[in-house]
C-alpha cells in the first residue's frame, strides 16, 4: 500500500484557494490526514458542534470548532523548515 504524496505538511503556512475562506487569510497546518486527503488548519473551516451537558460543560450548548479542510483547497505560502538529520 503506497502512501499518498501530499503538497502540505504539518507546520506549513497555507492559504485557502476555494471555499468560504478563499484568499481571506493564512493559517498554520496543525495536522494532516493522508487517508482522507484533509488537513486541520488554524483559523479555517469552523463548524458548529452541539455539546451535551456534563461536569466539564454544565450548560451544554453549541461551540464553534475547526474542522479538517480538503488539501486540494489549500496553497502553500511558506513551507515548514525541514529537520536536518545528524
* Residue pLDDT, tens place only, 1-59: 677 788 899 999 999 998 888 888 899 999 999 999 999 999 888 999 998 998 988 88
If we measure between CA atoms, which residue out of 48, 52, 46, 51 comes closest to residue 68? 46
Q: How many domains does the chain divide into?
A: 1
In a domain, 20, yes or no: yes
* Residue 54 lies in domain: 13-78
In a domain, 34, yes or no: yes
| Distance separating alpha carbons of residues 68 and 19, to the nearest angstrom | 13
Residue 85, domain member (yes or no):
no
Measured distance CA(42)–CA(66) in Å, rounded: 7
Question: Is 56 within a domain?
Answer: yes
Residue 36 resides in a domain = yes
What is the reported pTM? 0.78
DSSP letters for 26-54: EEEEEEEETTTTEEEETT--EEEEEE---
Amino acid at each position: 500500500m503506497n502512501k499518498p504524496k501530499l503538497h502540505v505538511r504539518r507546520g506549513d503556512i497555507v492559504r485557502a484557494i476555494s471555499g468560504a475562506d478563499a484568499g481571506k487569510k493564512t493559517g498554520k497546518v496543525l495536522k494532516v490526514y493522508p487517508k482522507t486527503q484533509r488537513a486541520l488548519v488554524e483559523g479555517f473551516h469552523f463548524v458548529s458542534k452541539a455539546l451535551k451537558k456534563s461536569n466539564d460543560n454544565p450548560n451544554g450548548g453549541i461551540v464553534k470548532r475547526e474542522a479538517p479542510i480538503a488539501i486540494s483547497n489549500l496553497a502553500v505560502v511558506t513551507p515548514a523548515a525541514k529537520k536536518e538529520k545528524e
